[in-house]
Amino acid sequence: FIFLFSLQNNSIKTSKYNFFTFLPLNLFEQFQRIANAYFLFLLILQLIPQISSLAWFTTVVPLVLVLAVSGVKDAIDDFNRHKSDKHVNNRPVQVLINGMLKDEKWMNVQVGDIIKLENNNFVTADLLLLSSSEPHSLTYIETAELDGETNLKVKQALTVTAELGEDLQKLTEFNGEVKCEAPNNKLDKFTGTLTLQGEKYALDNEKMLLRGCTIRNTEWCFGLVIYAGPDTKLMQNSGKTTFKRTSIDRLMNVLVLVIFAFLALMCLILAIGNGIWEYDKGCYFQVYLPWAEGVNSASYSGFLMFWSYVIILNTVVPISLYVSVEIIRLGNSFYIDWDRKMYYPLNDTPAQARTTTLNEELGQIKYIFSDKTGTLTQNIMCFNKCSINGKSYGDVYDTSGQRIEINENTEKVDFSYNQLADPKFAFYDHSLVEAVKLSDVPTHRFFRLLSLCHTVMPEEKKEGNLVYQAQSPDEGALVTAARNFGFVFRARTPETITVVEMGETKIYKLLAILDFNNVRKRMSVIVRSPEGDLTLYCKGADTILYELLHSSCDSLKEETTEHLNEFAGEGLRTLVVAYKNLDEDYFQDWIKRHHEASTALEGREDKLSELYEEIEKDLMLLGATAIEDKLQDGVPQTIETLAKANIKIWVLTGDKQETAMNIGYSCNLLNDDMEDVFIIEGSTSDDVLNELRNARKKMKPDSFLDSDEINIQFEKSSKKPNVIPDEQANGVYGLVITGHSLAYALEGNLELELVRTACMCKVVICCRVTPLQKAQVVELVKKYKKAVTLAIGDGANDVSMIKTAHIGVGISGQEGMQAVLSSDFSFAQFRYLQRLLLVHGRWSYIRMCKFLKYFFYKNFAFTLVHFWYGFFSGFSAQTVYDEWFITLYNLVYTSLPVLGMSLFDQDVDDRWSMLFPQLYVPGQQNLYFNKMVFVKCMLQGIYSSLILFFIPYGAMYNTMRSDGKAIADYQSFALMAQTCLLIVVSVQIGLDTSYWTVVNQFFIWGSLSVYFAITFTMYSDGMYLIFTASFPFVGTARNTLSQPNVWLAIFLSITLCVLPVVGFRFLKAQLKPTPSDKVLLKIKEAKKRPPPPSPKRRLRRTSTRRSGYAFSHQHGFGALIMSGRNMRPKSPFATTGTFSPNSDKYKHKGL
C-alpha cells in the first residue's frame, strides 16, 4: 500500500507526563507561576549572610510543601489520564496477520492493516470498507459520536473488493495501492483512489468507516486502515488540550505583580530611610553597634537593607496562599463527588469533578453551549398521541371526565393479546385499542398506513422476535405503534411488504416509493392490496399535506388542526397522514411516465418531482400522529431556572434545523412569547451579513447610529476591539443559524456581526454544525465577550467544544465515554447542571472570594507592622515579632480558621440557592473579588496595621508594672503586638463567617488556644535552657500577659480595628443594598414563615406552531429499498403467524 503521508500507529495519548519527564516538566510548569519563582528567589537571598534577617527554614518549608502538594495533585490527574488512554488503546480487535485473524490491541493496529469488525463493534480507525456480510457489501453504521445523529447510515464497498467476502486467503492476497488526501478534520469528505490489478477506482466518503462510528445490523465487515490514531478524523476534530486556568487565577497573577511593586516601594522607602539614618545618626553608634563586615558607607548599608526588607516583608505574598487555594479547590471538588442529589441510580453514575482547579469558575458562567442529542434529549422517540377521523387519542380521563396527568402509576394498555407486540411500547388510552378491536374502518386504515408507508427494515432472527432498523427514530416509533395495535410490519422485498393485520398475514405489492426530500417534506408509497385495490398512502408535514387534500376533508381538517395545535403545545413532533384510492388505467399511464423520468439523463429530479406532485393530489385525510422526542428528565425546568440566573443557552447540534427547533420549543428554550425567532440560512457571505444586520436592526435600531458605544470604539481604533460590552435588545428574541451559514459567519469580517447579533438574543440554536464549528463558536464568544463559558455534551462530536470552553462538562450517556474523558466535570443527566452551577459553583466562588479577601487582609495587617516599626528602629531590618511567630503565623495560627470558612461557609443552603437563581448573578459580574475589592482589603490592612503598631507602642511606652518594674522592652512590645494581631484576625474571620459549624468553632478557638499554648511553652525557662539561641524570649509571656493594662490595650486595638468594618457593613446593607442583599432579606423573611411546598408542575408551552416530518430521514433511501440491494434472503417467518386478537383465547384478556 502506498500512502502520501507519514504512517501512524493507532494509539492515542491525552496524558502530559511519563515516569522520567514528570519531575522536570512539573517543576518547570510550577515555576511559571510568578509567586513560586519569587519564593525561590527569596530563598537564594536568605542564604546570603549579609542581608539575611530571617532563618532559611521560614521559606524552604512552605515552598517544598507547596511544590509537593501541587505535584502530587498533578500526578494523580495525569495517572487518571494514563488509565483512560490505556483503556481505549487496549480494546481488542481482530487483525488479519499471515492469513489468520488474530486478536490484537487497538494501539498496535497500523495503517495498511486489514481488520474484521462485528455487529455493535466500535470502528477502530478510519477504514476503507472492503466487504461485508450484507447483500452488495452494504454496511449499516450509527454515527452518533461523530454528528449526534442516531439514524442508521449506509456505506457500500467497491464491487471489486466486495467479491473478497470473508475469504481470508483472498483478503491476505489483496494487493492494492491507495492514494488519498492528507489527514484532515472534514467528516463528510474523503478523496482517494485505489489501484488494483492495473485498474483505478475512485474512493469517496460513502466507502469509508470512520473511527467513532458503531457497526449496526451487519454481522461482519472487513476494512483496510487508512488513517490511524491522531490522524483519524475523530481525533483531528477533538481540538487541542489546553491548560485551563480560572479568571481568579489570572487576576491573582496580576495582583501578585501589584503587590511586588508595592513591596519594592516599601523596601525602597525603608532603604533610603536607612541610608539617611546611618549617615545622620548611625555614626554616633559605631562604638557599640558597628557596621557589618564589608559595609563601608551609609549608601551601601541602605542597599543591603533593601534586600533585608524584601525578605522580612515577603509575607505580603505568603506562599501558604497557594497551598490553601489548592486545598480549598480539592475540598470543594469532593463535595461534587459526594453529592447524592447528583447521583443517578439507574446506571450507578455519581457526579465527578475530573479537574480540581476550576471549581470557583462554576459560579461565574454566563454562556452555556449545549449539544442536543443525548444531552437535552434521551434519543428515544415515543408514539404519544394521535388523531383519527377527528377523534383525539392518548389522553387519560377519570370517571368525572377530567384529564389526568400520566405518570408511572397510570395503568398501561395490555397488549399481551398480540404475540408480536413490542413489550417496551407503552400507551395509556384504552379507547384506541377498543376502536381497533371493533374493526373501526378509519382506525384500521390509519394503522395500515403506518405499517406500509415507511423505509424501515425488519429483522426476525427467531420467530416473533422482531427488531426494526429504522433510518430515523421517528419512523421506528410509528411502525412500532402500528405493530402493537395489531398491524405488524413483518417483512419486505423490493416488490412486496408483508403485514400481519389483526392476526391475518397479508402481502401487499409495493409499486412505488415517492421518496422524502427536504423540499417535499413528505413521503408516499403506492401499494396493491391482496384484494387488488390500488392505494397511495402519504405522510408528511401538515403545512405541506393540507395543500394536497380533497375539498371534502375541510371539516375534518379543522378538527385535526385543533388536535395538532394541542399536540404542538405539548412539544410533540406531529405528522399528518392521508390516502388516495387510485384508478388502474391512470396508474398504468403514470407508472410508465415515472419509469421514463427515473431513467432520464437530464432533469431527472425535476421530472420525478412533477410526477409526484401530479399523483399526490386530492388526498383523503386520515388523521395525525404525535411523537415525543423524549427529553431527559427535568430539562425544561433546568433551562427555565438557568435563564432566571441570567445564563444564556446556545444549542450546537449536528441535527437538522427543524429537529433542533422542535427540541428548542419542547424544552422551553424557544416559545411563542418571543418577539421573533430569526433564521439565518443565507447561502453566500453577503446574504448572511444582511440577515444578521436585519436581525440586529429589529432588536436594537440604535446599534446602527454613530453615537453607539461599540461603533465609536470601531471608529477610534483601527484594530478590532478586544471585548464587546453587553447590548440589550428591545425584547426577547431567538436566533437559529444553519451550519452552512455559520461557516460564512465565522469568517473574519463577519464574526463581529455574528457575536453582536447572537449575544443580544436570549437563545441561539446552531444546527448542522461540525465538531470543529462547535469549538469555533465557543472560541468566538470567549474572544469577544468578557464572560465565562461552559460546554456540555455527551458524544465524541462534542469533545472539541468541551476542550475549548472555560469549563467542559461531559454527560456519561448513550454515546460512549469520549466526552467524559475530555471533560472537567461529568454526571449522568442534564438536570444536574443547575445544581452544579447554582449550588456547588456559587458556593465555591463565594468561598474562594471570602478566602482571598481575608487572606490578603490578614497578611497586609501582619506585614505592614514591620514597615511602621522601621521608623522607630533606625530602619535596621529588625523584625517586630518573634521569628517563631513569623514562621507559624500563616502555617499554624491562621491557616485552619480560614480553611474552615472556605470549605464549609454558605450564605444560604442549597434549597434557597435553587429557589432564588438571581443569587448567581454577582458571580457573573465578578462582584465579590476584583481589583476594587483588593484595594479595599489593602486599605483595611493598612489601617489595621497602624492600629496594631501604635496602640501597643503607646500602651508600652514608659509603662511600669504594678510592682514598679518596667515592661517597656522590645520583647514585651513584640508579644503584645502579635497577640493583638492574632485576636483581631480571629474576630475578623468570625465576622466573615455566614454559616457556623462545630468545625469553624473548633478551628477558631483551637487556633487561639494553640497560640497561647505554644507562646507560653516557647517563652518558658525550660525551652531557653535547652535551646538557648533559638528561644531568647524567656519569661516574656508570663510577665506581660499578667498585666491588666496590657489586656485593656489589646481590647482597645480589637475595638478600633473591628468597629469601622461592622459599621460600614451595617450602613451599606441599610442604605445601598445589593440585589443579593435584597434576595437574602427575602429568604430571611421566608425562613420565619416557611411557604407551603409548591406542587410539582409540568412545564407546558402554548403554541400554534406545528412540527414537521421525521426530519432525520435521508433522501434516497426509498430508491435503495426498491432496488433490493439492501435485502437479505427472505425471512422464514415472514409469511407465518396465525394469532388473532378476536379469537376466544385473546378476546377479553387485559382489557
CB 1141, CB 438: distance < 8 Å? no
- Rounded to an integer, what distance in angstroms lies between the CA atom of residue 467 and that of residue 476? 10
Nearest to 838 by CA among 643, 650, 664, 669: 643
CA 1042 to chain centre: 60
Nearest to 556 by CA among 580, 536, 576, 582: 576
Q: How many CB atoms lie within 10 A of CB 366?
A: 22
Task: Indicate which residues carry an active-site annotation.
Answer: 371
Q: Is residue 971 within 8 Å of 1036, Cβ to Cβ? A: yes
C-alpha span between 752 and 746 (Å, rounded): 9
Instruction: Indicate the helix (H) or strand (E) that contains 945.
Output: helix 931-956
Q: Which residues contact 550 (CB under 8 A, 6 or more apart)?
A: 618, 619, 620
Chain centroid to CA 1140: how far? 51
Under 8 Å CB-to-CB from 193, ≥6 apart: which residues?
178, 179, 180, 200, 201, 202, 203
d(CA 95, CA 232) in angstroms, rounded, equals: 18
Q: Find the distance separating the first CA and the last CA of the chain, reported in whole Å.
A: 66
- Using CA atoms, how far apart are residues 552 and 547, in angstroms rounded to an integer? 13
- Look at residues 1009, 1003, 997, 1011 and name the one whose alpha carbon lies nearest to residue 897: 1003
Helix (H, G, I), strand (E, B) or coil at 344: strand
Residues 6+ apart with CB under 8 A from 683: 740, 741
Alpha-carbon distance 594 to 478, whole Å? Answer: 28
Dihedral sign, Cα of residue 981, residue 983, residue 984, residue 988: positive
Contact by Cβ (8 Å): 532, 507: no
Grid coordinates representing 451 are 405499517
Q: Contact, 309 vs 877, CB < 8 A?
A: yes
Amino acid at 441: V
DSSP state of 413: P
The answer to whether 1008 and 983 have CB atoms below 8 angstroms apart is yes
- Rounded to whole angstroms, the Cα distance separating 491 from 478 reads 16
305, 274 in Cβ contact below 8 A?
yes
Q: How far is CA 1111 from the centre of its chain?
A: 26
Distance CA 396, CA 386 (A): 13
Q: Are 117 and 93 in contact (CB under 8 A)?
A: yes
What is the DSSP secondary-structure string of 760-825?
HSSEEEEES--HHHHHHHHHHHHHHSSSEEEEEESSGGGHHHHHHSSEEEEE-SSS-SHHHHH-SE
Answer whether 902's CB lies under 8 Å from 843's CB.
no
Planar angle of CA 104, 107, 110, nearest 5 degrees = 85
Find the largest Cα–Cα distance for the chain.
132
Question: What grid cell was written down for 569?
Answer: 403545545
Quickly count: other Cβ atoms within 10 Å of residue 991's Cβ. 12
C-alpha cell at 1115: 433522501
Amino acid, single-letter form, for residue 396: V
Task: Kindly give, in sequence order, each residue whose CB lies less than 8 Å from that of residue 853, ignoring residues fewer than 6 positions away.
Answer: 929, 933, 937, 992
